[in-house]
C-alpha cells in the first residue's frame, strides 16, 4: 500500500533547508513524496559570492533556480511540481510588494492549482509553514494561507468541482526544524567536546531567543543528513557552502539531535503524541493501492 506526503514550500531551496532529510527518508522507504514550490524564486539574491555560474544568475536567475531545484529533487529522490507563481521578493519596510507577486494573488485563484494537485496526488500528510511563514517573507506567509485554504477546499465536493474528486488530507504538520532545543543540544555537545564552533552556535541560540518548543513529531533522519546537505548545496546560488546556519556537523547532530521536527496541527486519525512518524495513525484502509492515481 502506498502512503503519500505532500510538502508545500514558497521557493526552490526551502524544501532542502526545511525537511529534506525527512523527505529523502520516506522516499527511500518507498513512500510517495511530492514537493510543490509555489514560486520560482526569481527575485532571490545570490547568497554565495563564490557561485560558479554567476553570469547565469545575473542573466537568468529563474532558469538557474530551476536547474538547482532539479538537481536537489534528484538527490532527495522525490517528485516535484511548480505551482507557477512569481516570487514576490522581500521588500524593504514600507515598500510595496510587486502586484504580480504570489503574495498578492487572490487566494481563490492561487489555490486552484494546489487543489488540483491535492485531488490528483491524494496525500495522506501535508507539511507546510505556520501563520508566520517561519519568518516574515510575504511568500512564506502566503504559502501557509494557500495550503490551509486548498486542503479545506480540496475536501469539499462543492468547491472547484472541475478540478477532480474531493480528497481529505488526514494529517497536517507545520515545519519546526529550526528550534531552540535542537540548537541547545548541539551547543551542549560542542561545549562538552571542546569544539570552538560552540561559540558560533551560542550566537545562533541567542538569535533564536526564547521561541516556544511546539514540535510534537520527531523524525529520525540520522541516515539522511548527508543527503540533506547535498540537496542544500544543490541550491548553490542561495546557500553559502560553509554556512554554519545550515551545515552543523552531522556527527554532532547524530549524537545530540538526530531528528527533524514537526508540529501536528490537524488530524482526522487518532494521534498519540509525541510521534516518531508523520504517518502515525494512518491505517492500510487509509493508504492507496500501488496503482491508484
What is the reported pLDDT for 245?
Answer: 83
Q: For residue 277, how many C-alpha atoms fall within 13 Å in the half-sphere facing its CB?
A: 13
The tens digit of pLDDT for each residue in 101-118 reads: 999 999 999 999 999 999
Find cell 482526522 and name the residue. Answer: 268
77: left (phi over 0), alpha (psi -120 to 50) or beta: left
Q: How far apart are alpha carbons 224 and 245 in whole angstroms?
A: 18
Residue 210 confidence (pLDDT): 77
CB 181 within 8 A of CB 132: no
Between CA 243 and CA 2 the distance in angstroms is 37
Place of cell 486552484: 112
Q: Identify the pLDDT of residue 181.
A: 94
pLDDT of residue 244: 84
* Per-residue pLDDT tens over the stretch 131-161: 999 888 999 999 999 999 999 999 999 999 9
Cell of 56: 547565469
Lowest mean pLDDT among 27-31, 89-93, 157-161, 286-290: 286-290
pTM of the model: 0.94
Query: What kind and span of H or E run contains 32?
Result: strand 32-39
Mean pLDDT of 165-192: 96
Categorize the per-residue pLDDT at 44 as very low, low, confident or very high, splitting at 50, 70 and 90: confident
Q: Mean per-residue pLDDT for 226-240?
A: 95
Closest listed residue to residue 76, CA positions, set 19, 1, 120, 147:
19
Which of the four pLDDT bands, split at 50, 70 and 90, describes residue 94? Answer: low
Q: Is 161 helix (H, G, I), strand (E, B) or coil?
A: helix
Cell of 61: 536567475
Mean pLDDT of the chain: 93
Amino acid at each position: 500500500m502506498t502512503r503519500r506526503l505532500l510538502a508545500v514550500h514558497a521557493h526552490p531551496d526551502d524544501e532542502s533547508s526545511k525537511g529534506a532529510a525527512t523527505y529523502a527518508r520516506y522516499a527511500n522507504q518507498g513512500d510517495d513524496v511530492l514537493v510543490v514550490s509555489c514560486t520560482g524564486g526569481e527575485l532571490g539574491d545570490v547568497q554565495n559570492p563564490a557561485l560558479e555560474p554567476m553570469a547565469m544568475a545575473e542573466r537568468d536567475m529563474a532558469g538557474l533556480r530551476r536547474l538547482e531545484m532539479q538537481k536537489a529533487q534528484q538527490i532527495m529522490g522525490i517528485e516535484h511540481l511548480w505551482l507557477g507563481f512569481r516570487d514576490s521578493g522581500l521588500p524593504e519596510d514600507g515598500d510595496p510588494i510587486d502586484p504580480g507577486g504570489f503574495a498578492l494573488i487572490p487566494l481563490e485563484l492561487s489555490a486552484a492549482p494546489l487543489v488540483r494537485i491535492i485531488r490528483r496526488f491524494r496525500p495522506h500528510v501535508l507539511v507546510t509553514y505556520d501563520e508566520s511563514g517561519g519568518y516574515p517573507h510575504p511568500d512564506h506567509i502566503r504559502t501557509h494561507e494557500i495550503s490551509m485554504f486548498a486542503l479545506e477546499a480540496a475536501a469539499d465536493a462543492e468547491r472547484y468541482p472541475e478540478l477532480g474528486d474531493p480528497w481529505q488530507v488526514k494529517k497536517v504538520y507545520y515545519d519546526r526544524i529550526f528550534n531552540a532545543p535542537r540548537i541547545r543540544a548541539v551547543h551542549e555537545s560542542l561545549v562538552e567536546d571542546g569544539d570552538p564552533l560552540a561559540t558560533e552556535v551560542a550566537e545562533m541560540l541567542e538569535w533564536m531567543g526564547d521561541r516556544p518548543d511546539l514540535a510534537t513529531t520527531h523524525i529520525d533522519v540520522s541516515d539522511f543528513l548527508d543527503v540533506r546537505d547535498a540537496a542544500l548545496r544543490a541550491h548553490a546560488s542561495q546557500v553559502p557552502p560553509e554556512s554554519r546556519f545550515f551545515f552543523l556537523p552531522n556527527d554532532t547532530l547524530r549524537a545530540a539531535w538526530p531528528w527533524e521536527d514537526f508540529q501536528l496541527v490537524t488530524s482526522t486519525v487518532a494521534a498519540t503524541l509525541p510521534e516518531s512518524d508523520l504517518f502515525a495513525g494512518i491505517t492500510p484502509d487509509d493508504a492507496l493501492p500501488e496503482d491508484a492515481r
